[in-house]
Structure 1
Amino acid sequence: MRSTAIAFVLLAWSGTTLLAADISAADTIFFGGDIVTVNEAKPTVEALAVKDGLIVAVGDREMIEQEHKDESTKIIDLAGKTLLPGFIDAHSHYINSLSVANQAQVYAPTSGPGKDVESIIATIRKFAEERKIPKGELIVAYGYDDTVMPDGRLLNRDDLDAAFPENPVRVDHVSMHGTVLNSLALKKYGYSAATETPPGGVIVRKEGTNEPYGLIMETAYLPVAEQSEAMTPEQEIEAAKAGQMLYAQAGITTAHEGLTHLANFQTMKRASDAGANIIDVVAYPFITDVDKIAAELPVSEWGEYRDRLKIGGVKITIDGSPQGRTAFFTTPYLTGGPAGEKDWKGELTFPQDTINQMVKKVYTIGVPLDLHANGDAAIDAFFNAHEFAAADDLTKDRHVTLVHSQFIRRDQIPKYVKYKVRPSFYTLHTYYFAEAHLANRGKEQAMYISPMRDAINAGLHPTNHTDFVVAPLDQMFMLWSAVNRISRAGAQIGPDQRVTPLEGLKTMTIWPAEQYGEQDRKGSLEPGKLADLVILDKNPLKVDPMTIKDIKVVETIKEGDTIFRAQ
């Protein structure tokens, strides 16, 4: 960010309040459309002025031009479009954006072509042929959703072996908690009949044998997740730029890296040091890699951006994926476990005693904590760990975010409030996976996933996220899901938990800014904050709520500079 002297003043003119930060000529002034500030003190304004990457004034157009315009000022007429704060990604897996450009996308319809096993195989084959991937080289696909496979016919090792006998193939599960491997990939990553299933893990075996049949989940998947394909420094820079452009195209000016291993951090830091970052990136080292990453960047230097990269805190994963049937519940799944287990409730990723010590370690370090918890029993496990680790002061704000919090029970919400824990919800599940949740968990629980309405009513400031690459980066679709809660099949999923469009915008602007401790510089259009902006073709506060998903990002601006403009 370029520096500028900021002297806050309050001007009054013709009964209209103008908030300003500096009485010098602006670089740019925006007017001529809806300007939604997400600032309750002044929700909409006529104009906004930017200088040296900062917002210097918002308010009456005539007054702003009088005080901040000269011959060098660029005047931008929005022509009826809508200006908003740049979107802040509350949770995704940014590091994966560096690689997905070189992977086959097999999301289920409507997001992708993966409607059945044959479609997935055909998509991967076409990808490999177009890329001319040589014999012996790893082929990777992402977005495999087993919950929509017709007649329960799931992708397995034999399918991939028959289609790709000469290449290791990895088809990552849409949950990002597992993968399906062919025989050559199983060998590459070290799995065999002799591999024992670790606690908290799943290795599906071929019926009648101990041979892995392809699907590897949760802790058993870590040997795959921890390995990354080597890139040259030049490739890392280009991959970082390409990955960040995916975020910029969605109007996102701050991205989240939600489970960072040492190799991931080293890749991001090299690209950052080379000046590749066009947006801010906040990384959360996985608890198992905290000491290794701290050896390279001391904890005392966390929480500060360097070349638009900062470590925001630590990540702990408590359970798995509800659509993958590895999330941890207090009651059994109606459809059994992923490998046919009976009376299956899922499992904790780590034993409770280990989770207790992990949480205590992060509290002792004194950095923010993000925890992945989907099932109600996993949420209970966190509260148990909190009560162990924070026994001296249970209500101190330790900057904890419980990521997903999908199957929260009504009786758990008061503990979020009492212990000052922020839920980061995942309302896209009301569309993408609602039918799977109805089958797996039953109507009562499925209707209460991501209860944003109750959380806000309780005084919480929840955030919302895509969990990319689990779901595509589409902030308008994410907003649509929170406002409408309609499933892929057209069913209403917990309509009593719908939020207003403005509340939905807060979950992707000012409230994630609070989540990162950056509300003083991001999340709303106010003088002194960064000029991180997004221009939409329509105003989500004014259109029919069912059409919010159709709104397009026209332009994304980071600290006053355009980083994406639609054709």
Structure 2
Amino acid sequence: MTRAEEGHRPQVVRARRVVTMGGHTGGAADALVTLGERVIAVGAAPELLDRFPGADVVDLGRGVVVPGFNDAHAHPSVLADGGLYVDLAPTVTGSAEEVRRALAERAARTPDGAWVVGHNFDVSRTEDGGAVGRDLLDRVSARHPVLIIHYSYHGAVANSAALAAAGYDEGTPDPVGGELVRDGGRLTGVVWERAWTEGFFGHGAKPALVPVPTAEARVESLRRIVGEMNAAGITSICDAMVHPADWELYQRARDGGALTARIGMLLWYEHFDPAPRLGLGTGFGDEWLRFTGVKMMADGAVSGGTCLCSRPYNGAQGEPTGGIQVMPDEEITEVVHRVHAAGGRLAVHANGDLAIGKVLDAMEDAAARVPARPGQAHRIEHCSVVDERLVERIRRLGVIPVPFGAFVRYHGRNLVAHYGVERAARISPHRTFREAGITVAGSSDHPCGPPEPLYALQSMTTRRSLDGTVLGEDERLTPYEALEVYTAGSAAASGEEHFKGRLLPGFLADFTVLAEDPLRADPEGLAGIPVTSTWVGGRPVWEGPA
């Protein structure tokens, strides 16, 4: 039987329980029926077996089926480095000295003058992480430009040769939207926001300085990364910053059979102008690969201490700051108006309350000039620090916030260090949004946070950081509400709520099988629930050990 013929044969999937997120079946559903990539029935197994006597039967035993987890904001294409970069995650290089040694080992087998690049570095989780600066990297090598990329991708650390290659010296002023960190006038090697992205990865006609992997190597990296996300139960991913080369990457991966999750793409705003002329508007594509919207960035990182806030806080360098505004007001306004008028969906990175207010100013003005088209719901990525007035403006505009799912648990210590307990307790305010009637999506921002949705569900339901501190008890969600954020909420953020995020007739047969029922488990143990298999379009894309 061919794959096409198989797609027209019903399949009854039995389980201990099927959580539809639709409400109409209550807790009675223990089976669903798929035909091709769609669900055609949900209910009690005996009834469905009678209705579809010739169907194939899949018995998942004691497994609990939930709609496939949908990460509305992650960066798989950023992680597809083709093996060129040195992994400096704290679990790999736990101290400043181990960071130095790992880079030195790579430099020893790299031709003189070629770049040595590391990534996933987390200063707060690396022993003596603050010592990782220009001087330490100069000890790695004087014959190579050396660059370390922060896990958040909002900052980097460069040695003297890398700074010189980028054209930076002590007399260089901070670029618009970026910062060259100094100590007594001398560059420390730490560079933030546009100072590193445009300085080392290029901008406009300026070529990238760091090495770029081959397309083939990136496809293999992407296959591994998406496979790891499948293993966490993820069936859909919105890539939150896509350039033309990344669009090509996904097309190659799909053509080569390496795409095992549905992908939505947020096109970086600098590449938007040609898109409408080529017919590439929001929603272009199909159910496996589609153009979701346009990404832009208003401010810095909340966990890294560079977001733009109305009140000072303890910033990335341990000194009071208001944060970094990455795009000037006039650029924010111009891009928002242009994309909105073209009918595109905006996805604007804004963490701090001041940045969020500026973005809403531009969106409100754009909507007043050109009424939104049906389904044109804009997004604010992260939307971390808000007050009642901002929440009401978000509700009125119909904007969908995409807050961090896991940051309270994973980065809680950093949030308290930067903003204090009181302000940290209001970061990622899922309940506040939901009680205001606002649709909320689920996001890991991986690699900035852990990709596992169950880890995020534990964070959202307990608000307990890794050190045991509860940050914002009033912002806790129920397990059902948290699951809805990572399924139906994320589908709405990409304009796919009518066919994704629930297990109902006519919806995509994307589902995750868990060893325990997340709606009945202790919220403090949600992160530990095993994923036993992950299904996309009614077919398994990942299965755990038997």
In the superposition, the TM-score normalised over structure 1's length comes to 0.87
Match of 1:324 in 2: 304
CA contact (8 A) 1:476 1:548 kept: yes
What letter matches 1:169 in structure 2? V
Seq. identity, %: 28
C-alpha distance in 1, partners of 2:416/2:214?
46
Match of 1:218 in 2: 193
Mapping 1:465-544, distance limit 5 Å: 465-544=443-522
In the superposition, the TM-score normalised over structure 2's length comes to 0.90
C-alpha distance in 2, partners of 1:542/1:524?
19
CA contact (8 A) 2:103 2:140 kept: no
What letter matches 1:382 in structure 2? V
Q: 1:268 aligns with which of 238, 250, 255?
A: 250
What letter matches 1:304 in structure 2? F
C-alpha distance in 2, partners of 1:317/1:42?
42
Q: 1:168 aligns with which of 145, 155, 171?
A: 145
Q: Structure 1 pair 534/364, CA: closer, same or farther in 2 (3 Å)?
A: same
Q: 1:366 aligns with which of 333, 336, 343?
A: 343
CA contact (8 A) 2:180 2:192 kept: yes
Match of 1:298 in 2: 279
Alignment RMSD = 2.8
Deviates more, 1:543-552 or 1:183-192: 183-192
Q: Does 1:180 align with 2:164?
A: no
User: Deviation string for 1:187-217 (max 9, x for gaps)?
Assistant: 4444344543112211113x3444x322111
What letter matches 1:117 in structure 2? A
Q: 1:311 aligns with which of 291, 301, 310?
A: 291
Report SS of the residue matched to 1:80: coil
CA contact (8 A) 1:236 1:271 kept: no
C-alpha distance in 2, partners of 1:230/1:252?
28
The alpha-carbon deviation at position 303 of structure 1 amounts to 1.2
Match of 2:13 in 1: 30
CA contact (8 A) 1:424 1:465 kept: yes
Mapping 1:80-119, distance limit 5 Å: 80-99=62-81, 102-108=84-90, 112-113=91-92, 115-119=94-98
The alpha-carbon deviation at position 448 of structure 1 amounts to 0.7
In the alignment, structure 1 segments of 5+ residues that lack a partner are 7-23
The alpha-carbon deviation at position 58 of structure 1 amounts to 0.8
CA contact (8 A) 1:319 1:378 kept: yes
C-alpha distance in 2, partners of 1:520/1:74?
27
Q: Does 1:142 align with 2:125?
A: no
Q: Structure 1 pair 395/280, CA: closer, same or farther in 2 (3 Å)?
A: closer
CA contact (8 A) 1:395 1:420 kept: no
Deviates more, 1:274-283 or 1:407-416: 274-283
Mapping 1:35-50, distance limit 5 Å: 35-44=18-27, 45-50=29-34
What letter matches 2:123 in structure 1? D
Match of 1:20 in 2: none
C-alpha distance in 2, partners of 1:103/1:360?
38
Match of 2:205 in 1: none
Q: Structure 1 pair 448/114, CA: closer, same or farther in 2 (3 Å)?
A: farther
C-alpha distance in 1, partners of 2:59/2:109?
47
Q: 2:51 aligns with which of 67, 76, 81?
A: 67
C-alpha distance in 2, partners of 1:152/1:473?
23
What letter matches 1:93 in structure 2? H
Match of 1:196 in 2: 173
C-alpha distance in 2, partners of 1:52/1:524?
16
CA contact (8 A) 1:370 1:400 kept: yes
C-alpha distance in 2, partners of 1:563/1:401?
29
What letter matches 1:216 in structure 2? V
Q: Structure 1 pair 74/141, CA: closer, same or farther in 2 (3 Å)?
A: farther
Report SS of the residue matched to 2:73: coil
What letter matches 1:221 in structure 2? W
Deviates more, 1:517-526 or 1:228-237: 228-237
Q: 2:439 aligns with which of 453, 461, 466?
A: 461
Report SS of the residue matched to 2:72: coil
Q: Does 1:446 align with 2:424?
A: yes
CA contact (8 A) 1:147 1:323 kept: no
What letter matches 1:327 in structure 2? C
Q: Structure 1 pair 152/55, CA: closer, same or farther in 2 (3 Å)?
A: closer
Q: Does 1:252 align with 2:234?
A: yes
Match of 2:99 in 1: 120
Report SS of the residue matched to 2:273: helix
CA contact (8 A) 2:454 2:527 kept: yes
Q: Does 1:436 align with 2:414?
A: yes
The alpha-carbon deviation at position 75 of structure 1 amounts to 2.1
C-alpha distance in 1, partners of 2:159/2:276?
36
The alpha-carbon deviation at position 225 of structure 1 amounts to 4.3
Q: Structure 1 pair 500/339, CA: closer, same or farther in 2 (3 Å)?
A: closer
Report SS of the residue matched to 1:547: helix
Mapping 1:227-242, distance limit 5 Å: 227=208, 229-242=211-224
Report SS of the residue matched to 1:509: helix
C-alpha distance in 1, partners of 2:500/2:339?
26
Q: Structure 1 pair 182/307, CA: closer, same or farther in 2 (3 Å)?
A: farther
Q: Structure 1 pair 232/416, CA: closer, same or farther in 2 (3 Å)?
A: same
User: Deviation string for 1:281-329 (max 9, x for gaps)?
Assistant: 111112122125556x4334x4132583211111111110123222101
